[in-house]
């Protein structure tokens, strides 16, 4: 019994000396003294060994001990809640926040958006379509029948044979869908990713990005084509830019022309970008082939149209002097970071 009294004194001293001040420590205190297997329970268990004549006296001592522990715990709990609250309230809200790392817009998206906004200014709508196409929308409707030699230049990846599903080689397939569902006048540009079966190098990749345009109405002429594309390059490259058209061939246009702009890098004095010619090629264009119009039930005697297609990589290369196409898709942070803040 003496022993029990001594134990209680030791616990009391321990409790009085307890300095824990955070929630975890106070919880450990509760478990140690007041838990299901805690010391208070153990001490109480000793009651059964106390002789009957002392039970009353001891009962009171033990009860007081229990109240002491409970009170100590309550005080500790209140104190920690207070200090932890204080820490919260003492927080300096004027401190700068953690920096949020924002990415950068991809150069191809920057250029694509610029191209799209320029054409939107002069009344072109924007259309998008699927990257997996059927043979008709990608080739057939574009005056490229099966076995046509021009298909060689646009070999692609075949997803399925019979029926043929392939990765589109140009966004003309989107314009095909527009012609299928809309009547002239049609004035649309189609940005998107396209695919070609090419060996990957600095100058060729198995996918690239295009913006194609199509304008069909009565009395649309080659003069409209020239003026529209001239407006575009002036907006894109500045008022000083000169243009020239060279005859070319595309199965879906007749006549066809490629457009060059004066080399802005050397001001046409001659450099390796323009291969010392003073001119750089930027797009292909032409008057929509009557067969293409008739494929969609558009009367080619009543309506004419022009179309053009450009590679976004090519325009970005001229604007940002990117000399290796592969940089666009390698996700090299050192390359991408250079476009920080450009929108
Ligand atoms: C290039 C050349 C071109 C077209 C695309 C086109 C579309 C329709 C009808 C006729 Cl729906 N033509 N598109 C015309 C000429 C050239 O692209 O070098 N692209 C990267």
Distance in Å, CA 330 to ligand 1 centroid: 28
pLDDT tens for 90-137 read 778 899 989 888 889 999 999 999 999 999 999 999 999 999 999 999
Residue 12 has a pLDDT of: 87
Give the confidence band of 273 by pLDDT, cuts at 50, 70, 90.
confident
Q: Report the nearest-CA residue for atom 7 of ligand 1.
A: 172
Element (H, E) at 6: helix 2-17
Ligand 1 atom nearest 309 alpha carbon: 17
State mean pLDDT over 156-169.
94
Secondary structure percentages of the chain, helix, strand, coil, to 5: 45, 20, 35
Indicate if ligand 1 lies below 6 Å from the C-beta of 253: yes
Q: CA-to-CA distance for 61 and 49, rounded, in angstroms?
A: 15
State mean pLDDT over 3-22.
85
Asked if residues 129 and 173 have their Cβ atoms less than 8 Å apart, the reply is yes
Residue 300 has a pLDDT of: 97
* DSSP-derived 3-state class of residue 246: strand
State mean pLDDT over 201-221.
95
| Structure token digits, residue 20 | 């824990």
Q: Report the nearest-CA residue for atom 19 of ligand 1.
A: 309
Q: CA-to-CA distance for 118 and 217, rounded, in angstroms?
A: 20
Q: Per mean pLDDT, which range of 64-68, 87-91, 306-310 is the poorest?
A: 87-91
Give the confidence band of 141 by pLDDT, cuts at 50, 70, 90.
very high
Q: Which of 190, 308, 317 to mutate to test the pocket of ligand 1 (most atoms within 8 A of CB)?
A: 308
% of the chain exceeding 70 in pLDDT: 99
Q: CA-to-CA distance for 239 and 243, rounded, in angstroms?
A: 11
Q: Per mean pLDDT, which range of 127-141, 146-160, 192-206, 256-270 is the poorest?
A: 146-160
Measured in Å, how far apart are the chain's first and last C-alpha atoms?
Answer: 84
Report which of residues 26 and 253 the model is more confident about: 253
Give the confidence band of 251 by pLDDT, cuts at 50, 70, 90.
very high
Q: To 10 degrees, the CA torsion angle through 215, 218, 221, 224?
A: -50
Report which of residues 80 and 174 the model is more confident about: 174
The beta strand positions in the chain, using DSSP E, are 125-126, 132-134, 158-160, 165-167, 186-195, 207-217, 243-250, 253-262, 279-288, 304-311
Asked if residues 244 and 279 have their Cβ atoms less than 8 Å apart, the reply is yes
State mean pLDDT over 273-296.
95
Give the confidence band of 79 by pLDDT, cuts at 50, 70, 90.
confident
Indicate if ligand 1 lies below 6 Å from the C-beta of 215: no
For residue 196, how far is the Cα from the chain centroid? 24
| Residue 84 pLDDT > 80 | no
Q: How many residues does the chain have?
A: 343
Instruction: Give backbone dihedrals phi and psi of 46, rounded to 5 degrees, phi first.
Output: -70, -15
Residue 274 has a pLDDT of: 86
Asked if residues 325 and 202 have their Cβ atoms less than 8 Å apart, the reply is yes
Asked if residues 23 and 70 have their Cβ atoms less than 8 Å apart, the reply is no
Instruction: Give backbone dihedrals phi and psi of 286, rounded to 5 degrees, phi first.
Output: 165, 175
Residue 80 has a pLDDT of: 84
Indicate if ligand 1 lies below 6 Å from the C-beta of 311: yes
Report which of residues 319 and 89 the model is more confident about: 319
Asked if residues 117 and 213 have their Cβ atoms less than 8 Å apart, the reply is no
For 24, 86, 121, the CA distances from 91, given in Å and listed in that order, are 21, 9, 51
Name the residue with tokens 């075949």. Answer: 158
Asked if residues 295 and 310 have their Cβ atoms less than 8 Å apart, the reply is no
Ligand 1 atom nearest 256 alpha carbon: 15
CA Rg, the chain, in Å?
A: 40
Distance in Å, CA 52 to ligand 1 centroid: 108
Asked if residues 139 and 151 have their Cβ atoms less than 8 Å apart, the reply is yes
| Residue 148 pLDDT > 70 | yes
| Residue 329 pLDDT > 90 | yes
Distance in Å, CA 234 to ligand 1 centroid: 21
Give the confidence band of 224 by pLDDT, cuts at 50, 70, 90.
very high
| Residue 88 pLDDT > 70 | no
Indicate if ligand 1 lies below 6 Å from the C-beta of 212: yes
Distance in Å, CA 280 to ligand 1 centroid: 18
Residue 230 has a pLDDT of: 97
| Residue 331 pLDDT > 80 | yes
Mean model confidence pLDDT for the chain: 92
């Amino acid at each position: 019994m003496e022993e029990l009294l001594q134990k209680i004194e030791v616990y009391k001293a321990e409790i009085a000396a307890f300095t824990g001040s955070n929630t975890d420590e106070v919880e450990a205190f509760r478990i140690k003294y007041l838990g299901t297997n805690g010391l208070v329970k153990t001490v109480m268990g000793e009651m059964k060994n106390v002789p009957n004549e002392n039970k009353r006296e001891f009962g009171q001592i033990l009860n007081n001990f229990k109240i002491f522990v409970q009170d100590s715990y309550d005080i500790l709990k209140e104190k920690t809640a207070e200090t932890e609250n204080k820490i919260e309230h003492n927080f300096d809200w004027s401190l700068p926040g953690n920096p949020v790392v924002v990415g950068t817009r991809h150069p191809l998206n920057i250029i694509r958006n610029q191209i799209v906004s320029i054409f939107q200014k002069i009344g072109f709508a924007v259309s998008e379509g699927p990257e997996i196409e059927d043979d008709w929308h990608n080739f057939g409707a574009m005056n490229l029948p099966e076995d046509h030699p021009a298909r060689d230049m646009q070999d692609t990846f075949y997803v399925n044979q019979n029926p043929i599903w392939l990765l589109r080689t140009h966004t003309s397939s989107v314009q095909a869908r527009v012609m299928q569902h809309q009547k002239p006048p049609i004035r649309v540009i189609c940005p998107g990713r396209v695919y070609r079966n090419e060996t990957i190098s600095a100058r060729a990749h198995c996918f690239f990005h295009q913006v194609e345009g199509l304008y069909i109405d009565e009395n649309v002429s080659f003069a409209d084509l020239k003026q529209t594309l001239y407006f575009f390059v002036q907006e894109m490259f500045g008022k000083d830019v000169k243009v020239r058209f060279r005859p070319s061939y595309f199965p879906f246009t007749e006549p066809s022309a490629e457009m060059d702009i004066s080399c802005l890098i050397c001001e046409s004095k001659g450099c390796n970008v323009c291969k010392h010619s003073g001119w750089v090629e930027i797009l292909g264009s032409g008057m929509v082939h009557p067969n293409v119009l008739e494929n969609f039930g558009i009367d080619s005697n009543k309506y004419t149209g022009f179309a053009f297609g450009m590679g976004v990589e090519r325009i970005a290369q001229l604007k940002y002097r990117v000399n290796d196409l592969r940089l666009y898709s390698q996700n090299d942070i050192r390359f991408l970071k250079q476009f920080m803040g450009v929108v």
